Homo-oligomer: A and B are copies of this chain.
Amino acid sequence: MANLQTLATLVGGELQGDPDVNIHQVAPIDQAQQGDITFVANPKYLAQLDKCHASAVLLAPGVAPPEGVNLIICANPYLAFAKILTLLQVPEPPSRGIMTGAVIADSADLAESVTVHPGCVVGERVKIGTGTILYPGVVLYDDVTIGANCLIHANAVVREGCRLHDRVILQPAAIIGSDGFGFAPDGNSYYKIPQVGIVVLEDDVEIGSGSCVDRAALGETRIGRGTKLDNLVQIGHNVKVGEDCILVAQIGVAGSSTIGRHCTFGGQSAVAGHLEIGDNVMIGARGGAANNVASNQVLSGAPLMPHKEWLRSTMVFPKLPEMRKDLKQMKKRLEEIESLLKES
């Protein structure tokens, strides 16, 4: 619980109304009750405020405020909603230390406030920074380094030598540092190329459930600061992903490709190996990059094309049988005309 003044200060907004009203939780506009705060990010939902029982509303500037409603006017109501939700409804998990049933190698170096749940196994020479929490079943191989205030969820695995910086979140069963997929043909069979590199996850990276980031063959696979991976994403060996990227679920990025800053890739999309993708590239769901991509583009399809052109082409696809039929008929009509003209 917090009063409206506290929340306005938190989000850097302008308070209009009663600063002392107590807010207990955040709720969507169609469910909010007394004691709740809600938000209007899209003006088309403004009309719903008349029937809304929320005690306060987060609103963008320039929107006509309804009368008699407590308001916080702020540039980005959606961001403000997220910050208030964090404050009100996400209790800081208490530091619980090394719990019974965790197995920690003697040579591991854990900051005092680290929490290690039962069922975790922490290898030799592992270092873990202050405030980090390992949920049950987490496995850290030898020589792993984890920064401060990381959340490593249940059954996540970080293999030997990989490094996580600060405030990294691994969702359950995320796998960091498994072997890259490298084999040298030896006749018809394949010889495994040792994968002796590592993975580095920079500050504020989040990796979704079941997602895999493969270790480099030599050198590093690296995910840049602030980049977020959804669930079941595959990142091949020696890939570099820049800062502040969003990779939606079930994406595959093949080995040795480089992705720039602030890119957004839709679900089930893919990047082939050894490519360079620029900054601020958006790739639509299921898009497939088979060649290098310059910065500042919105692309879809496989092969990639400008998103709007792709939309137009997909709209024609269902007409293909009709087009083929038309072509055949026109060919016949052309032949008839030609023979007619030849006769004359």
Contacts and interface: CB of A to CB of B under 8 A. Distances in A.
B191 A83 contact: yes
A70 interface: no
Contacts of A326: 327, 331
Nearest to A288: B286
Number of copies of this kind of chain in the complex: 3
A173 B210 contact: yes
Interface in A182-197: 182-186, 188-194, 196
Nearest to A229: B181
Interface in A294-326: 301-303, 305, 309-310, 312-321, 323-324, 326
Nearest to A177: B172
Interface string A193-211: 1101000000010101110
A320 B210 CA distance: 38
Given A209-B178, A317-B320, A136 B121 contact: yes
Given A135-B139, A139-B155, A318 B305 contact: yes
A214 interface: yes
A209 B209 contact: no
A326 to B, nearest CB: 6
Contact of A119 (B83, B137, B272, B327): B137
Interface in A246-289: 246, 248-250, 252, 254, 261-262, 267-268, 270, 272, 285-286, 288
Nearest to A336: B338
B270 A286 contact: yes
Given A28-B218, A334-B337, 7 more contacts: A27-B218, A119-B139, A137-B155, A212-B231, A309-B318, A315-B321, A323-B324
Given A90-B196, A171-B175, A268-B268, A118 B137 contact: no
A100 interface: yes
Contact of A214 (B79, B179, B231, B301): B231
A33 interface: no
A240 interface: no
B191 A178 contact: no
A154 B181 contact: no
Contacts of A188: 243-244, 261-262
A9 interface: no
A47 interface: no
Contacts of A219: 28
A340 interface: yes
B196 A85 contact: yes
A103 interface: yes
A316 B305 contact: no
Given A141-B135, A189-B226, A250-B250, A320 B313 contact: yes
Contact of A194 (B82, B309, B317): B82
A222 interface: no
A316 to B, nearest CB: 4
A254 to B, nearest CB: 6
